[in-house]
Amino acid sequence: MHAEYFPNEPISQRGLLPLRAATTWLGLSDTRVTMRLVRDGKLKAIKIGRRIFITTQSLEKFVGVSK
């Protein structure tokens, strides 16, 4: 997982969800399962400071939702 830097841009405008919120959005209860999906390359994560965020684009692609 590689960290990306987004200066002066709110998280909501970046298309990111915190790890816990992404886990809930997927209908899961354990963040370790979400992190396993990241390690397997099925979801894209971005680390900002000590926090981990999942891209909404990768979540939508994973569950088959299209815009």
In the predicted structure, residue 2 carries a pLDDT above the cut 60: no
Residue 23 in this model has a pLDDT that exceeds 70: yes
25, 33, 48, 52 from 14: Cα distances, Å: 17, 23, 12, 13
Residue with tokens 């900002």: 48
The reported pTM is 0.76
Helix (H) or strand (E) holding 47: strand 45-48
14-41 average pLDDT score: 94
